[in-house]
Amino acid sequence: MSLLISFPRTGLRRRPVRLPEEPHFDPGEVHRAVLALERAARPGPTARLSIRSDVVGFKVAEARRMLAGLPAPGDYGVVIKPLRYRTRPSLSALCEFDLGRIILRLPEPFHPFDELVYYSARRKRGGGMRFAWVAEKVRFRTPRDVLRFLYCHEWLHWYLREMQGMRAGAETACDRFALRNFRRRQVTVADAQEALRGCRMQPLPEGLSPAA
């Protein structure tokens, strides 16, 4: 004799599992985020760029005109100092994170000069860390050329440290950014991101804030 026991089917029915939706990637949101960064770094009216000139006869108003169209370095000040040289002019600048300022040195007296700008490096075949450096000879005809090139270079150091929280020692990327943009009328954060494409950046050490 067989015993037939039936169970209600509704009690054994498995409830459907609702999976969380995948995050939606909106290109418009990325574009708006880039625009927000540009607005934060854009000088707008030149009065927003804090400039001091220690070069005799070189007025701040003239420096503003030369640096017009370049992104601002947050609340950092820009100081223009004379560069005394013995034989030939050269490029010299510094981003002082601890003091919150960018120093640009203008050769005195000024004469047009050529400078090799190393904007890329290619690893050589074989063992060891050997690189072939790629350079371009640049003719700096005017003080405007020098100041804009130096500013672009040092601004990218500031951008890496203060805006991205990365180590700021990417000299090749900074030279590449300056080389591509110092003669352009308008330079944006997107231009900086293009220059940094493919670069391997390291974050700041733990405990060191970007604004330090």
pLDDT tens by residue, 44-81 = 434 368 999 999 999 999 999 999 999 999 999 999 99
CB count, 10 Å around CB of 33?
10
Average of per-residue pLDDT across 38-44: 52
| Residue 133 dihedral angles phi and psi, to the nearest 5° | -85, 140
What's residue 194's pLDDT? 87
Check residues 91 and 29 and name the one with the higher pLDDT: 91
Per the structure, the complete domain to which residue 148 belongs is given by: 33-195
Tokens of 90: 């050269």
116 within 8 A of 136, measured Cβ to Cβ: yes
Whole-angstrom distance, CA of residue 48 vs CA of residue 45: 6
Number of domains into which the chain is organized: 1
Residue 148: inside a domain, yes or no?
A: yes
Average model confidence (pLDDT) across the chain: 79
User: Is residue 93 domain-resident?
Assistant: yes
Q: Is residue 118 part of a domain?
A: yes
Burial code of 170-204, b = ≥16 C-beta within 10 A, e = fewer? bebbbbbbbbebbeeeebbbebbeebbeeeeeeeb
Answer whether residue 176 is part of any domain.
Answer: yes
Please give the pLDDT value at position 21: 47
Q: Please check whether residue 206 lies inside any domain of the structure.
A: no
pLDDT > 70 in the chain, percent:
64
Backbone angles phi, psi at 127, to 5 degrees: -75, 165
Q: Mean per-residue pLDDT for 77-104?
A: 96
